[in-house]
Structure 1
Amino acid sequence: MNNPKFRVFKSTANGQYYYHLQSKNGEKILSGEGYTTKQSCLNGIAAVRVNAPYDMRYERRNGFSNYTFNLKAANGEVIGRSENYTTLTARENGIEAVKRDAPTAPIEDLT
């Protein structure tokens, strides 16, 4: 995969809609919560696009060999969660990829 994109899908387990942001290399770098409607999921993606460029919107979390981040909206609500990273550098690279890719990534609807 050469282009980053949001992938929207519906879970067969609970019927909710989710998104993943995939980077240029195809790795999943951000995931959204479950939404009851596709429109709510698309609104979540819109919120990610607006907030992604701002470093202050990223909550960095550190654990033993486990580094993650949450992307938050201006009201403090978590709108995206990262995958687990084994190093600080890898996590920071993930944040930079979200900042770079999310604002313009197209949406692939898998529903």
Structure 2
Amino acid sequence: MSYELKQSASGKFMFNLKAANHQVILTSQLYESKGSAQNGISSVQKHGSDDKNFELKTATSGQPYFNLKASNGQVIGKSEMYNSEAAAKNGIESVKKNCSSTVIKDA
């Protein structure tokens, strides 16, 4: 389990939280600076273990996904699209289990 911090083609920064199997379980928004993205990782570490910070949603395609929100309601990260609500809930459990990782890799 680790965070992968990288710069996008547009020059902005983002991160992925990866589970032990290297699967991406949460993706951040784009940040203007590397420091802001690192603050986003800190926010996931702080908020990712509490059920109340997760919002289960359904895309227009009908596929379930979830958002992780900070205490101020701002979305910190978003999941992939899942095939079932049960799979999305498993994804939430994976974020809760892996969010405390302090391993941050520059990609």
TM bucket, shorter chain: over 0.9
Aligned to 1:91: 88
User: What CA distance in whole angstroms lies between the structure 2 residues aligned with 1:60 and 1:105?
Assistant: 26
Aligned to 2:41: 45
Kept in 2, the 8 Å contact 1:65–1:87? The answer is: no
Per the normalisation by structure 2, the TM-score is 0.94
Q: Secondary structure at the match of 1:93?
A: helix
Aligned to 2:3: 6
Kept in 2, the 8 Å contact 1:57–1:72? The answer is: yes
Instruction: List gaps (5 residues or longer) in structure 1.
Output: none
| Counterpart among 51, 55, 80 of residue 51 in structure 2 | 55
Report runs of 4+ in structure 1 exceeding 4 Å deviation. none
| Counterpart among 51, 66, 69 of residue 66 in structure 2 | 69
1:29-60 CA deviation, whole Å, 9 max, x = no partner?
10001011100000000000000010000010
Aligned-pair CA distance for 1:24? 1.3
Per the normalisation by structure 1, the TM-score is 0.91
Question: Is 1:82 matched up with 2:79?
Answer: yes
Instruction: List gaps (5 residues or longer) in structure 2.
Output: none
Kept in 1, the 8 Å contact 2:3–2:101? The answer is: no
The count of residues paired between Structure 1 and Structure 2 equals 106
Aligned to 2:98: 101
Q: Amino acid of the residue matched to residue 98 of structure 1?
A: V
Give the alignment's Cα RMSD to 1 decimal.
1.1
1:3-44 CA deviation, whole Å, 9 max, x = no partner?
x110000012x1100100111111111000101110000000
User: What CA distance in whole angstroms lies between the structure 1 residues aligned with 2:42 and 2:102?
Assistant: 11
Q: Please, which moves more after superposition, 76-85 or 96-105?
A: 96-105
